[in-house]
């Protein structure tokens, strides 16, 4: 049973959907289309969505139910996954796929541009060389993070991994940068987020 599981609605206007926090600069648009949310932005215009995390605990963590949990249970030791089913058509040299507190994933002319930001250490930039046509279009992107590792998967294949005890923090998708190198269009078909107890991956793996 997950600690948190979010599947925000992509068939309703994100501007009035309290599952999202919207950033939309002049020169950018966001609209609902038959297959999801269409985001389009010109250079220097941000257009992104951030998941709103619930503040209340699930019912089974409240009194008296939490007393029936394993003695080793600690909801502060958790693993996370964030997945993004997106169709991206960049117009500039870069386009932001997703951003969390510890990982920024962008498309660029060489393939995938990853910026890893470990706590208390300098950021690390990694270029994952791919043909540009192979990483544009529709793909499933997934970030997984537990108390030891953070990984990035594209269409089920791991392309990046680092040791990282730092949680994901915020979860954003779309263009979070406002410079002339960024811009294009993105269709958001599905976004999912799960958080589960890291003490027993088999017993607590999200469905």
Structural domain contains residue 135: yes
Structurally, the chain folds into a number of domains equal to: 1
Structural domain contains residue 112: yes
What confidence category does residue 78 fall into, taking pLDDT thresholds of 50, 70 and 90?
confident
81-135 residue pLDDT tens:
999 999 999 999 999 999 999 999 999 999 999 999 988 889 999 999 998 889 9
Tell me the CATH number at 95.
2.60.120.200
33-59 residue pLDDT tens:
999 999 999 999 999 999 998 765 665
Structural domain contains residue 34: yes
Structural domain contains residue 65: no
Structural domain contains residue 207: no
How distant is the alpha carbon of residue 146 from its chain centre? 15
pTM comes to 0.88
Say if residue 157's pLDDT is above 80: yes
Mean pLDDT of the chain, nearest integer: 88
Better pLDDT: 69 or 126: 126
Strands 28-33 and 111-116 turn out to be unpaired
Structural domain contains residue 69: no
Structural domain contains residue 160: yes
Structural domain boundaries enclosing 42: 4-53+74-200
Structural domain contains residue 162: yes
- CA–CA dist 143, 206 (Å, integer): 14
Give the H/E segment covering residue 10.
none
Angle at 19 between CA 15 and CA 24, to 5 degrees: 35
- CA–CA dist 198, 82 (Å, integer): 15
């Amino acid at each position: 049973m997950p600690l948190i599981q979010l599947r925000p609605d992509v068939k309703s206007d994100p501007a009035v959907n309290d599952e999202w926090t919207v950033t939309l600069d002049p020169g950018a648009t966001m609209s609902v289309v038959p297959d999801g949310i269409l985001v389009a932005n010109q250079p220097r215009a941000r257009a992104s969505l951030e998941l709103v995390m619930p503040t209340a605990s699930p019912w089974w963590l409240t009194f008296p139910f939490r007393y029936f949990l394993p003695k080793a249970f600690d909801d502060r030791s958790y693993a996370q996954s964030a997945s993004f089913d997106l169709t991206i058509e960049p117009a500039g040299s870069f386009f932001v796929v997703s951003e969390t507190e510890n990982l920024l994933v962008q498309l660029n002319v060489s393939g995938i541009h990853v910026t890893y930001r470990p706590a208390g250490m300098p950021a690390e930039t990694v270029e994952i060389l791919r043909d540009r046509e192979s990483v544009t279009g529709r793909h499933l992107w997934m970030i997984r993070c537990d108390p030891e590792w953070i990984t990035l998967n594209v269409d089920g294949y791991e392309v990046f991994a680092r040791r990282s005890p730092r949680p994901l923090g915020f979860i954003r998708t779309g263009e979070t940068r406002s410079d002339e190198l960024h811009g294009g269009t993105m269709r958001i078909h599905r976004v999912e987020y799960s958080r589960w107890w890291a003490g027993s991956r088999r017993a607590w793996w999200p469905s």
